[in-house]
A and B are shown apart, each in its own frame.
Chain A
Amino acid sequence: MLQALARALIRRPAAADTTAAPDTEIAGALAAQLDSAAQARLGRSLAILHVAAAGCGGCATEIDALGGVAYDLERHGLAFVGNPRQADVLLVTGPLTAAMRTAMEGVWTAMPEPRWVVAVGACAIDGGVFAGSYAVQGGIGIALPVDLIVEGCPPSPASVLSALLTLIEANR
């Protein structure tokens, strides 16, 4: 049920992001909603483990920006963690390379239930510009059950934020 609900896809064409800066007010409003939703469900912040599987670092850099002061997540019920054992959400950027598959599966196995996989960016969804190469197997969905995708190459931090909100809302 949870998984089915959460399999909502955020489809956000690049054009939607070319408006003025994804401003802090929007981020603030989303974060405030996240706050109550996450706390209500878990009694604590939603813990996100970000793993850059490979890729160009563009998505990873935008996830880092999301963790910075401009978006102020931690104060609002979302926290990045470094340990799979503390993570609720595995947020994957970059394509799945053959060399990384075992490590990705290992991280997933270490995460406690309930757990979710969010594929951020074209690479994590289906290999993106690197699809079809001998070194790339595809998106993370090849190895792990993906609950949510965020399109873009890279997606903006604001669209990743609204995707995480969808995940929490769907699991309320």
Chain B
Amino acid sequence: MTIEALITAGDPQPMRPWPRYLLSCEAWRAVADALRSDPEPALLGLWADTAHVHALFMGSTPMIASVPVEGVLYDALSPGRPAAALFERMIHDLWGHVAAHGTDQHPLLDHGRWPILRPLSRRPVPNSAPPEPQGPGVVQPGQHQVSIGPIGSGAADPVHLRVTVAGEMVVRMEARLGYAHRGVLALMRGKPLRSAAPLAARIAADSTVAHAVAFARAGEAALDVDPPPRGHALRGVMAELERIASHLGDLGAALPGLPGARCGALRETVLRANQAAFGHRLLMDCVLPGGTAVDLAPGGHAAVLDALDRIAKDEPDTRRSLDGMAVSTAAGGVAGPEILASFAPGGVLGRAAGRKDDARRVPGYPPYGPPPTVPSAPWDGDVEARLRLRLDEIRDSNVMLRRWLADLPPGPVNGGVPFASGEGLGVAEGPHGDVWHWLRLDAGNIATSFVRDPRWLHWPLIEAACAGAALGDLPLIMRSFSPAASGLEL
């Protein structure tokens, strides 16, 4: 029996648009066992509610398998899917459920400084124990350890990096997360769908459109409504503007000197076009359940086209400045196909190593039509590949935007959403990969939800790619991944 067959044999639950199956503990255990030997399907995320644990897989369609928690226990998936480990640690910190036979039982988000323990469980308890001091890492003779952060680590948010070096070589890099955890899921609980939208838009600013779209699509799926065509089209325009701005920002941070500065300046041009077109530089709160919050402003069209022209004109120069980068970082920074196969990350990280995952294509959603150009170059999963791919994606987005803007459907931008109950799963392809939102609505209010930002799958891969690199290359390698924690700090 394939794993997909094991899952679909479960009891189907009323989730839209894809099914969720409730498995018995025995069936879940069979899935967990099978995952050890079968690389399919990819595990995209793992989370919980007060009584169940839910696993999101990408099979022939997206699908969720759920299992009841027995006492505090459920069977771990991490022995078969290393990507599950971070999620299992998070589930313990937030809900208190324990992954039996999990590969890593350390806390992830909870540093022992919250006033309560297990904040999302049915009955959180006061935290009376003093915070645990952080033990030193294991260092062999001839190695030493550099501790960077949580302030000034070079990542976009507070992250504590522990780098073990031998001579000039990085032996190991470990990221300690949890500093920026904000309690978003607890804040969303009990809020009406539309009142929670500003929170969804503030999970990760560089993917605010993607998060807002995935959140809205989850709500729309739960309520079985669809935005009007113009709402879909404008979401697409905003999402591709966001992709271009984010990729330019990442290139600007990674490229030294003038080329980097030029990317930063072009990014600023996009942000100003966003302001002119939709009234917000980062496009926050521009997408709402039911469609969009705003229509394209008069003059916005011209501002966007002007920015697109400038970016296209500059592309050859930026491309030239990438030449030779592979040579300078030959000693590391590779997130190659083998390790990626067990993590299945989407976005630039995966595609730069030859993976095809792109939520705009599969499962696909409006306004994206047939797939854009499939990248053809050999993608080695190294620093240069990740940077070069961003340039390619900027070019593709440029083409899409021109096509859409030339032919925007007329009509309203938002069809509204009813106050009703239901459960939905939504996805959108953001600048860093596939963003998933799952939520259950009870009479219009969010009863429970989860947010799977693509960066959940990134940190273990970044850690792996840094091992073996020259210490001096570490900053560039890190920047080529665009490391940030806000997406998973929730």
Contact = CB atoms under 8 A, between A and B. Distances in A.
B114 A68 contact: no
B90 to A, nearest CB: 13
A128 B275 CA distance: 22
A65 B186 contact: no
Contact of A97 (B124, B179, B198, B265): B179
Contact of B281 (A53, A60, A103, A156): A156
B116 A61 contact: no
B249 A61 contact: yes
Interface in A55-84: 55-58, 60-62, 64-65, 68-70, 82
B422 interface: no
Interface in B260-292: 261-262, 264-265, 267-268, 271-272, 275-276, 279, 281-282, 284
Interface stretch (A33-41, A129-137, A163-171): A129-137
B84 interface: no
A141 interface: no
Contacts of A30: none
B202 A97 contact: no
A32 interface: no
Contacts of B198: 129
Contacts of B111: 98-99
A135 B183 contact: yes
Interface stretch (B203-211, B334-342, B363-371, B380-388): B203-211
Contacts, number: 139
A4 to B, nearest CB: 29
B202 A58 contact: yes
A134 B156 contact: no
Contacts of A101: 113
B114 A53 contact: no
Report, as a range, how many residues of chain B touch the other chain: 35 or more
B150 A134 contact: no
A40 to B, nearest CB: 29
Given A54-B182, A55-B486, A134-B186, A107 B151 contact: yes
A100 interface: yes
Contact of B179 (A56, A61, A100, A154): A100
Given A18-B275, A61-B205, A100-B158, A55 B284 contact: no
Given A18-B275, A20-B276, A60-B156, A103 B183 contact: no
Nearest to B279: A18
A143 interface: no
Interface in A128-163: 128-130, 132-136, 153-154, 156
Which residue, A51, A54, A107, has most C-beta atoms of chain B within 10 A?
A: A54
Nearest to A54: B180
A53 B182 contact: no
Contacts of A21: 272, 275-276
A134 B202 CA distance: 17
Interface in B85-135: 111, 113-116, 119, 124
Contacts of B282: 58, 61-62, 154
A61 to B, nearest CB: 6
A58 B205 contact: yes
A21 B306 CA distance: 14
Interface string A86-114: 00000000110111110110010000000
A97 B184 CA distance: 12
A105 to B, nearest CB: 11
Contact of B183 (A55, A58, A107, A136): A136
Nearest to A23: B272
Contacts of A51: 151-152
Given A68-B265, A69-B265, A133 B486 contact: no
Given A61-B282, A129-B199, A56 B205 contact: yes
Interface string B155-178: 011100000000000000000001
A7 B332 CA distance: 49
A70 B267 CA distance: 10
B279 A56 contact: no
Contact of B181 (A64, A97, A107): A97
Contact of A56 (B152, B267, B271, B486): B486
B92 to A, nearest CB: 16
A156 B10 CA distance: 51
B374 interface: no
B484 interface: yes
Nearest to B157: A52
Given A68-B264, A103-B151, A107-B151, A133 B156 contact: no
B119 A65 contact: no
Given A56-B205, A56-B208, A154-B282, A130 B184 contact: yes
20 contacts: A18-B279, A21-B275, A55-B202, A56-B486, A57-B206, A65-B267, A70-B264, A82-B152, A94-B180, A95-B182, A97-B179, A97-B180, A98-B113, A103-B158, A133-B182, A133-B183, A134-B124, A135-B114, A135-B183, A154-B282
Closest 10 CB pairs of A and B: A133-B183, A58-B205, A98-B113, A54-B180, A21-B272, A56-B202, A68-B264, A135-B183, A57-B205, A70-B268
Given A68-B252, A156-B281, 11 more contacts: A20-B276, A21-B275, A51-B151, A53-B158, A56-B205, A94-B180, A107-B151, A129-B187, A135-B114, A136-B183, A153-B202
